[in-house]
A and B are shown apart, each in its own frame.
Chain A
Amino acid sequence: MAVRTEELLLNVGPQHPSTHGVFRLVVKLDGEIITDAQPVIGYLHRGTEKLAEDLTYTQIIPYTDRMDYLSAMTNNYVLCHAVETMMGIEVPERAEYLRVIVMELNRIASHLLWFGTYLLDLGAMSPFLYAMEEREKILDLFNELCGARITFNYMRVGGVKWDAPDGWIDKVRDFIPYMREQLDGYHKLVTGNEIFLRRLKGVGKYDAQTAIAYGLSGVNLRCTGVRRDVRKDEPYSIYDRFEFDVPVATEGDCYARYLLRMEEIRQSLRILEQAVAQFPKEGAVMAKVPRVIRPPAGETYVRIEAPRGELGCYIHSKGKDKPYRLKFRRPSFHNLQILPKLLIGENMANLVAILGGIDIVLGEVDC
């Protein structure tokens, strides 16, 4: 005789400790098994794309800071990169190096925060504070460079706002071995932990075809064995000058995603090491750009590899100082789409493991 069970409708969020912001998930539960999941987004929608139509290009840069607020440097870059592409501006070498350094530092900071909060979701408290400590070091570097810790507003069309202050590059150089050491510590603390392994291995699994069909990018795609990294495939900025690997796994589960993100920190450190070594002694950090930025009429689409995946920026210009249409392809938004499919049939306890493993930032999802 089957036991009669009653469906339970549970609202996870919008204020829930594991949704990392204002994300709401309506799940139907049968016991602790999820039978249906419906993500509800838009609680953080600010209409950045629409607002941008009324702002000059320089004014949009602070708005991009607030999309993926864990990796504002890459957001800054994608907008500047798009405008520079349209106007054909040659960015000075020193500025390019500074851009790569800050973007890779920001990638590390972003992955660190993901690592910490993910472990926090899984119930371990200390890794969060350790990761925050390392992230703090990066934020201090940023603070010294551009005067802000989260919303940098650092890049400008044609270069960067500030040159590196004296000794800053040395501090970045010192950070690299320190971070490597801490990373080994994380592996000691977390990666071998049997409880942790049992919670992640085989959870939230999908294959390459599904990933591509859902338009996933970044680690969420690479964990299925697809070797795709915009930095390697279509090098932008000066990424073609650096040697680094694109880590790929084939399992497609949460554990693979965890390992890939940790490995990406290592690869970013490698890039940083080379960038710091090759850093030009002097030079301008700003190209000659007109006082008022007016990209020629036309359209352009550029994409870069943000920590969360492929970040794209589409600009349609009518030759004015404001964009006619601006559109960001935000990786978090696209990566989130696979969530309902992954959740159905899973245990409620896996919800946080799967949601956290996708690594979304609500500022970017809602934009």
Chain B
Amino acid sequence: MAHWLSQPLSWTTAAVFLASAVAMLLVVLLFVTYAIYFERKVIGWIQLRRGPNRVGPYGLLQSVADVLKLLVKEDVIPDRADRTLFILAPVIAFVPAFAVLAVLPFTETLHFADLGVGLLYYVAVSGITTLGILLGGWASNNKYALLGGMRSVAQMISYEIPLVISVIGVVLLAGSLNLKEIVAAQSGGFWNWFFLKQILGFAVFVVAALAELNRTPFDLPEAESELVAGYHVEYSGFRFAFFMLAEYVYVFAMSALATVLFLGGWHPPIESLGFVPGLVWFALKFAFCVFFLFWLRATMPRVRVDQLMTFAWKVLLPLALLNLFLTALVKELVA
């Protein structure tokens, strides 16, 4: 990929870029389909159930059937809704989710844009999704949706700050905002991975990332027992599918980001295991992150909305700052 990126833009390179983007989209769609399937299976197993098993062998086509059903459903737009915004909102929510994937490196050679400020780009672009959610909640002209949308925005903006500050520790250690270089700085065994050196930062990152993803225990925006379905209560059919898609693409992106930043990317845990391709290591770590999300979902109750905000500002933010300070101090004294 690096070879293509360094060439001047021509019809060929543009075609290659387009083709690889489409390929990535397909990979992501496949991931989303089976992430949902896997989530339902894992949660089912934990709850002594079998999970989906009726559509296709082992229920493998369940998500496909679900998506198909959403696509053929009638597209309902509430009468009093703000039509333009209502239509625009799912798009605004989804596009950044896909755009952030551009900077994630999967192996040394398999990556897309190699931005110098990759991390910054990720955080900045992912913030736009919040806008889509707020618009969706507001444009639906539904009280539950509005409450859900407001909660969502409050939550995602609050948690973005500790999230960013917690990863600055990593940036300090690696000396770069480029995700490839951050991974390169973690080579040589798992004791070099940043989740150990940055244990505090990692903890803050995990919590903040969960909140960013709107997943249990921070799934307040769509708390069905309080808000029925949250911001997408009025959405149906493929518009709803877009919100869901955005959510699961973020699961993909966030898990990949956690792997890159803290779990050593494609590096094997011990040098001698280097014969296994990097992509496999990446996939393993990535799968563990995704599984962890599902596992949490099967265990945790939901945090209360006011406690959520208190937690972000009074606990996570000071911790993230402390982590940053300590990292700077250690780096200054040791190096």
A347 to B147, CA, bound (A): 13
> Which residues of chain A come closer than 8 Å to B300, judged between CB atoms?
123-124, 193, 195
Which residue from chain A places its CB closest to the CB of B297 in the assembled complex?
A125
B298 touches A125 (CB 8 A): yes
What's the interface size class on B, roughly? 20 to 34
B298 touches A347 (CB 8 A): no
What's the interface size class on A, roughly? 20 to 34
Say if the beta carbon of B335 comes within 8 Å of chain A.
no
B48 touches A349 (CB 8 A): no
> Which residues of chain B come closer than 8 Å to A18, judged between CB atoms?
225-226
> Which residues of chain B come closer than 8 Å to A348, judged between CB atoms?
147, 226, 305
Say if the beta carbon of B43 comes within 8 Å of chain A.
yes
Say if the beta carbon of A133 comes within 8 Å of chain B.
yes
A352 touches B143 (CB 8 A): no
Query: Do A8 and B305 contact each other (CB < 8 Å), given the known contacts A123-B219, A125-B298, A349-B226?
Result: no
Which of B46, B216, B225, B307 has the most chain A CB atoms inside 10 A of its CB? B225
Interface residues of B in 191-250 (CB under 8 A from A): 216-217, 219-220, 223-226, 228
Interface residues of A in 200-245 (CB under 8 A from B): none
Say if the beta carbon of B299 comes within 8 Å of chain A.
yes
Which residue from chain A places its CB closest to the CB of B46 in the assembled complex?
A126
A195 touches B305 (CB 8 A): no
Q: How many pairs of A and B residues are in contact by the CB < 8 Å rule?
A: 80
A123 touches B225 (CB 8 A): yes
> Which residues of chain A come closer than 8 Å to B20, judged between CB atoms?
none
Say if the beta carbon of B73 comes within 8 Å of chain A.
no
> Which residues of chain A come closer than 8 Å to B216, judged between CB atoms?
123
> Which residues of chain A come closer than 8 Å to B304, judged between CB atoms?
198-199, 347, 349-350
Say if the beta carbon of B331 comes within 8 Å of chain A.
no
Closest CB in chain A relative to B255 CB, distance in Å: 21
Say if the beta carbon of B13 comes within 8 Å of chain A.
no
Interface residues of B in 283-305 (CB under 8 A from A): 297-305
> Which residues of chain A come closer than 8 Å to B303, judged between CB atoms?
195, 198-199
> Which residues of chain B come closer than 8 Å to A351, judged between CB atoms?
226
Closest CB in chain A relative to B45 CB, distance in Å: 11
Query: Do A16 and B228 contact each other (CB < 8 Å), given the known contacts A123-B219, A124-B300, A193-B300?
Result: yes
Which residue from chain B places its CB closest to the CB of A31 in the assembled complex?
B150
A8 to B227, CA, bound (A): 14
A8 touches B306 (CB 8 A): no
Say if the beta carbon of B49 comes within 8 Å of chain A.
yes
Interface residues of B in 51-103 (CB under 8 A from A): none
Interface residues of A in 251-267 (CB under 8 A from B): none
**Besides the contacts A126-B47, A195-B301, what 6 more A-B pairs have beta carbons closer than 8 Å?**
A10-B143, A17-B225, A123-B302, A129-B47, A199-B301, A347-B305
User: Which residues of B pack against A, CB within 8 Å?
Assistant: 43, 46-49, 143-144, 147, 216-217, 219-220, 223-226, 228, 297-307
Q: List 13 A-B contacts (CB under 8 A).
A: A10-B147, A122-B225, A122-B302, A123-B301, A129-B49, A195-B302, A198-B303, A198-B304, A199-B304, A347-B304, A347-B306, A349-B304, A352-B226
